[in-house]
Structures are given as C-alpha cells and as structure tokens.
Structure 1
Amino acid sequence: MSKIHVLLAEDELALGMIIQESLESRDFKVSLCENGQIAWDSYQKNKPDILVLDVMMPKKDGFSLAAEIRKIDPYTPIIFLTSKSQTEDVVKGFGIGANDYVRKPFSMEELIVRIKAHLDKLRTRQNQSDWIALGKYEFHPTKQVLKLDESETPLTARESQLLQMLLEHANEITDRTLILNQIWGSDDFFNARSMDVFITKLRKKLQGDPEIQILNIRGYGIKLVC
C-alpha cells in the first residue's frame, strides 16, 4: 500500500521540518515547500493526497495557492495552518474552498487526526456507489435517487451534491461559504439565494421522515440532523 502523500507548504523552515519529521515517522510521505510558488509547482508535478498550507508565505500566499488549486481540483483536501489571532483567515479560507484549518501552535496528533479524517471522507465520496442509510430513507449519490420504502424520488445533480455534502457532515454544522464554493463555484448573493431554494426542495423531498431536519444555523452554516 502506498504512503499517504502530504504536500506541506510552510515558510518557517524549522517548524516545517518538525512537521515533516513527525509525519514521516508515522509513515506519511511529505513534500516540504518553503513558499507558495514551490508548492504550486510541486502540486502540479506530484498530485499529493492532501495539502497542508501555511497562510502567510512569500511569492504566493496560502490563499492564492488554494484558489488556483480549486480552479482545477475541487476534491483534494486542503488544511490551512493559521495563527490563533487571525480569525479572519478562517472565514476567508473556507470561502476559497479549504476543508479545515488548524490554529498555531498545535499538536501533531491533532493535525494527523484531521488529515486522516479528511482523507476518509474523500475515499467515502469516491467509493459511494451503493445506497446510504439516511433515517427512513436510502440515498444513492450516483443514481441521484432517494428511496422511501418502495417509492423512489429523483434528485437533480445539484440536489444530490448538496445532500451528499451535508451527509458527510451529518449532525455537524457545514459552513455555507464552503458549500457555495465547492458546489456553486462562488459564494455571491445570487448563488446563496439559489442554495436556499435547493435546501427548501430537499426538505420537501425528505419530509417523509420527521426525524430528518436541515437547519439554517444563522451566522454559522447548515446542519443536517438525522
């Protein structure tokens, strides 16, 4: 089995080497890049399994790098490393399409747990060709169908994408901006209104099970309760 390949972009060389050594000691393969431009070149050449990006880097910052990657690759997980004081980085990072962030200083165990969790979610998405239990329903992402008893309800491609993303974060809050950027490609006003319409449609299609709820958590995001 091949090792998980982590692209690590960190301009603080001492910290980068500590992270690299810690990950490699746990059987990861790590490409350490000291700035965003080197990281971009490495990404194009090596196609890593996951990216761990510092926000503040010379030549190309983490946000710019992530934005370029998301134009051609909506799936490879991206984790940002950010200072505790830079809360605005978290919001901006999710808006670009990041999957997660880790605040500095952090424990290596926390970073490793997050890396593995996002890779597990990606594998689940890639391997979902069968029915998935969703309360009283069954959901087939590939066929884009909801089934309740013997009755099947077709979903549009976007309804299926939205439901799948919410299901991956079931009983957790999913950031609205993250959903908009990953599914609609932009978090502008019109796409936000469109997403609200699709959420309303999904609620109607799931109303056969009163235990299932799609909640708008004001100021935070969307939560699928099931």
Structure 2
Amino acid sequence: MSKIKVLLAEDEASLGMIVRESLESRDFIVDHAENGEQALDLYKTNQPDILVLDVMMPKKDGFTLAKEIRESNKNIPIIFLTAKSQTSDVLEGFNLGGNDYLKKPFSMEELIVRIKALLNRIELKTNLELIKIGNYIFNFTKQTLEFENLKENLTHREAELLFHLQQNKNQVLDRTFILNKLWGNDDFFNARSMDVFISKLRKKLKKDENIQILNIRGFGYKLIC
C-alpha cells in the first residue's frame, strides 16, 4: 500500500513542525508550507492525496487557497485548521469545498482519524456509475447535477450529502448519523450547517416536482423521488 501524501499549510512554524514530524512518524509523506503561495506551488508540484490547510496564513489564506485549488480539482479532500468557531466561518469553509475542519488545539490522533476517514470515503466512491434521481443525473465523482442537458456543479459537501440521501431514498436518513459521518460530530453549529446544505439541495432539485427532501422532525431527512 502506497504512503499517504499530505500537504500541510501552517504558518506557525513550531506547530507545523510538530504536525509534520508526528505524521511522518506514522508513515505519512508530508510537505509543509508556511504560507498560502508556497502551499499552492507544492500542490502543483507534488500532487498530494489530501490537504490540511490553516485558515489564517500570510500571502494567501486557507479559504482563498482552497477556492483556487477547487477550480481545477473538485475531489481532493481538504481539512481546515482553524481557531475560529463562528458558524459563518465554518459554513464558508464548507461552501468553498472543504470536507472537514479541526479547531485548534487538536490532537494528532483526531487529525489522523479524519485524514483516513476522508480518503476512505473518496476511494469508495470514485468508481460510482451515474446515479439517476428523478429526472436528474447525479455524478458524484464530478460533483455535478444534470437536468435536461443543463449541468450544475455541486460543492463536495453537497455531493456527499446528496449521495447519502440517495442511498437511503424514501427512507429516513438519521440526522445524528449523517452529522457524525460528514461533519465529525452532531453539535449545534454542525446541525445548523447541515440545515443550510439541505436548503441548497432543495433549490438545486426543484426542477423536478416529484422530488422532495422532507424534514422528519426529531429524526432526520427523507429524499422522496
């Protein structure tokens, strides 16, 4: 099995060194950048498997870096490291294509678990066929929804959520289960975030009147199609 290549972008030198050495001691290959511009150069040169990006960095912040990378690569997993805890900051990270976030300070064990979980999810889904949802065609790998030759791009978070709704269509998708699986825990901020993403998916699926995403209060959501 090939080693996992991690691009770590962290401007705090001591923290960056600790994370890099900890990951390398567990058989990861790590490139460490201390600013966003250096991270972008390393990304283009070394083709990592996953990105771990500090939000606040000089020259180019983590959100800007993620947005630029997502323009050419919609599938590479991105974990944000942040001292911010406001809902708006978390939502911005997910809207820009982030898959997960860790609040500082964090444990190395938690970071490693999240890295492996994200890579496992990507690997399981890369060979999926096109999925029909009502009159829509959903391509998880390319993160697109197509309706009568009109194609719309999804964020990675939207694609993940829609995939799980579709896998459980006409059944209740447990709210706690999906929060823990996609967001890492079921706290208030993550629950608010998921509600926002459900609303976005409803809008993107509204061209087919036979598709509904129902809120089953106290339990979760149900995709009917």
TM-score if structure 2 supplies the norm length?
A: 0.69
Aligned to 1:144: 131
- Residue in 1 that maps onto 2:39: 39
Query: What amino acid is the match of 1:69?
Result: I
Q: Which has the larger Rg?
A: 1
- CA apart distance, 1:167: 3.4
Q: CA deviation at 1:108?
A: 0.6
- Residue 194 of structure 1 corresponds to 203
Alpha-carbon distance between aligned partners in 2 of 1:144 and 1:117, rounded to the nearest angstrom: 23
Distance 2:42 2:78 in 1: 15
Matches within 5 A, 1:50-89: 50-89=50-89
Secondary structure of residue in 1 paired with 2:48:
coil
Checking the alignment, whether the CA contact within 8 Å between 2:215 and 2:222 is kept in structure 1 is no
Q: Which residue does 1:114 correspond to in 2?
A: 114
Residue 84 to residue 62, structure 1, CA distance change in 2 (3 Å): closer
Instruction: Please tell me the residue identity of whatever aligns with 1:98.
Output: G
Distance in 1 between residues matched to 2:198 and 2:25, nearest whole Å = 35
Secondary structure, in 3 states, of the residue corresponding to 1:11?
coil
1:28 and 2:28 matched: yes
Partner of 1:166: 162
Matched residue SS, 2:40: helix
In structure 2, distance between residues paired with 1:92 and 1:110: 22
Letter in 1 for 2:131: Q
Q: CA RMSD in A?
A: 3.4
Q: Deviation string for 1:88-121 (max 9, x for gaps)?
A: 3212111111001000000111111111111011
Would the alpha carbon gap of residues 122 and 10 (structure 1) be closer, same or farther in structure 2, given more than 3 Å must change? same
Paired-residue identity, %: 52
Maintained 8 Å contact 1:121/1:168: no
Size of the aligned set, in residue pairs, is 184
Secondary structure at the counterpart of residue 66 of structure 1 = helix
For residues 128-174 of structure 1, give each alpha carbon's deviation from its aligned partner in whole angstroms, at most 9, with x where no partner exists: 3xxxxxxxxxxxxx14347xxxxxx7752327987764334863146
- Give the 3 Å change call, closer, same or farther, for CA 202–164 of structure 1 in structure 2: farther
Contact 2:130 2:137 (8 Å CA) reproduced: no
Corresponding residue SS for 2:11: coil
Q: Is 1:156 aligned with 2:137?
A: yes
Partner Cα separation in structure 2 for residue 197 and residue 42 of structure 1: 41
Once the two structures are TM-superposed, the CA of residue 179 in structure 1 deviates from its matched residue by 7.9
Mapped to 2, the partners of 1:74 and 1:87 lie a distance apart of 23
TM-score when scaled to structure 1? 0.68
CA distance in 1, matches of 2:36, 2:216: 34
Separation in structure 2 between the aligned mates of residue 55 and residue 164 of structure 1, nearest angstrom: 22
Aligned-partner SS, 2:206: helix
1:159 and 1:198 in contact (8 A); partners too: no
Structure 2: which 5+ residue stretches go unaligned? 139-144, 148-153, 166-172, 183-193
Do the aligned residues in 1 keep the contact of 2:216 with 2:222 (CA within 8 Å)? no
